[in-house]
A and B are shown apart, each in its own frame.
Chain A
Amino acid sequence: MLCDVCKTANASVFLTQIVDGKMQKVNMCEACSKERGVTDPTAFALADFLQGLGGAQEVEQLGGGQPQQKCGTCGLTQMEFKKTGRLGCSDCYSTFADGITSMLSGMHKGSSHTGKVPERLAKRIERDRLLKELQQHLKKAVAEEDYEEAASLRDRIKELEVVV
């Protein structure tokens, strides 16, 4: 078995860690394991390391194991994503959404963006958020048989939808 890092020497250090109920494995040769500080297990986080390897092992779980799944916009397959750790285009994020979401949660501080929003999208995003909120209120109003409230909510939703 070859070392996952240098891919030349034979692996002699086998590391398994369970993080968030997921098992992750790395095989390394002695030189690479020393270099990465694997000898001290407390200081070594496998997750960080996998991230450095392009999340190769994580990617395997993507999309429920359909290696032939393909992005409709750019034609990237799951196999290719797995190989390079890079996506083909911005639409790949929705094509491979399931797998990417779980991959991101192990990679980043949070799972949703809280930073800058492009100006031209800011309005639309705010409107979508408001629309969602109103629809939830509408559901609630209907469930509570508050038809007066429901009617006014329905009108506001219609108004917002017209702006599209």
Chain B
Amino acid sequence: MPIRNILNKTSDWLGGDGPHHQIVVSSRVRLARNIQGVSFPGWAKKMERVETMERIRPQVEALPEMGDAFSLPCQELSALEKQVLVERHLISREHAARGAGSAVVMNRKQNLSIMINEEDHLRMQAIRSGLQLKAAFKAVNKVDTELEASLDFAFDPNLGYLTACPSNVGTGMRASAMVHLPGLVLSEQVNQVIQAVNKIGLAVRGLYGEGTEALGNLFQVSNQTTLGESEEQIIERLQKVILQLIEHEQNARLSMLQHRPTTLLDHIGRAYGILKHSHSMASKEALNLLSLAKLACDLEFYPEAWRVAVDELFMETQPAHLQKGSQQKLGPEDRDVLRARIIREKLAECPSPAGEAVLSRIPKAASTKRKKAAGDDLLEG
């Protein structure tokens, strides 16, 4: 299948219909595997990398899951195409930078993607919408089992699956959930919560993984360690923490509605005004304002029908996605202008946020919520 068919179709998991989808955008599980006795991609010579790729790729393409797959060596993808895949979290930024000897195979639904010769020989990833870590693991685990019949994976009875970086050894699994936490950010509790999550051995990162900023109030929560616990235990632990994060976020939102409604309405109203009327908008600003629009959808300030538009804009306003839809090469300023236009047009008919109407339905701070600091119970768990 040609790449443009993939690029022109939105990813299946962006549909936003998974459990807890208001707060958990997506769940991903990635497995790292290597071929026994063959140099890891970072150390192998180009020739070796090409050989390994030629050995692995046909096996991956032959998977029943990949019946309608798109499969290409990295050097046959343009920089723009790679960037679009990065923005959709289908390949890593590191993989996008790789050339000869690396490849990417993904299914039509774009919920299963396999990178060949990233940091490890195989990085297999399943993505689902909402909180579906178990389903994502099941999908990627099946692929792993199918591949191990024909590929000799490096495995040590004591250390488990062997990986290029010792931090992935064991299960080779990284499970992560992308969570949208505007309530905790606005109420300035998010750092406290992140620290608590860190202390129990989970990592919290920005939108595009390690070392990236938490734009649009989006955070990725994932397991930090891979050795000493089974896959199921890791996922169970992560799942529990995510459920607690959801509760904290919901409490923070309710508390804002009850105690600081003016601040909340002001943030959402200003976001609405700027999104609908600006003529130039940087990517960062767009993500942060769209985050407020998404929050407003969750709080029923907008009719439910607008949720899809807002969710789509998160992806459509990313730099490579803007360029993809355009005929000529766009500079950063052109992109900002185009971004503002796309948002204006998409939200043209969106009514003003019905904040007051929603607030009138909220019980006035009747129940004093348990006055526990956010994050405390995470530590107890």
Contacts and interface: CB of A to CB of B under 8 A. Distances in A.
Interface of A: 43, 48, 51, 54-55, 73-74, 76, 80, 84-91, 93, 100, 103-104, 107-121, 125, 128
Given A86-B42, A108-B169, A121-B157, 13 more contacts: A48-B224, A55-B166, A74-B39, A74-B43, A85-B165, A87-B40, A90-B38, A109-B229, A112-B159, A113-B160, A115-B231, A116-B144, A125-B157
Contact of A89 (B39, B157, B167, B195): B39
B37 A114 contact: no
Contact of A110 (B40, B156, B227): B227
A145 to B, nearest CB: 33
Given A48-B198, A107-B225, A116-B171, A88 B43 contact: yes
14 contacts: A55-B167, A74-B40, A84-B42, A89-B34, A89-B37, A93-B156, A93-B169, A104-B169, A107-B227, A108-B169, A113-B160, A116-B141, A116-B160, A120-B148
Contacts of B165: 54, 85-87
B40 A86 contact: yes
Interface string B219-240: 0000011111111110000000
A2 B255 CA distance: 46
Contacts of A118: 148, 153, 155
Tell me which of A73, A84, A93, A109 has the highest count of chain B C-beta atoms within 10 A of its own C-beta.
A109
Contacts of B160: 113, 115-116
Nearest to A51: B167
Residue of A87, A110, A111, A112 contacting most chain B CB atoms (<10 Å): A87
Contacts of B119: 86
B166 A100 contact: yes
B101 interface: no
B166 A114 contact: no
Interface of B: 34-40, 42-44, 119, 141, 144-145, 148-149, 153-162, 164-167, 169-171, 173, 195, 198, 201, 224-233
B229 A110 contact: yes
The 7 closest A-B pairs by CB, nearest first: A110-B228, A113-B160, A90-B154, A109-B228, A108-B227, A88-B43, A115-B230
B228 A114 contact: yes
B154 A113 contact: no
A86 B164 CA distance: 5
A115 B171 contact: yes
Nearest to B234: A115
Given A103-B166, A111-B228, A117 B40 contact: no
A90 B230 contact: no
Most B Cβ at <10 Å: residue of A74, A85, A88, A90: A90
A128 B157 contact: yes
Contact of A115 (B36, B170, B224): B170
Contacts of B164: 86-87
Contacts of A113: 156-161, 170-171, 227-228
A109 B145 CA distance: 25
B273 to A, nearest CB: 33
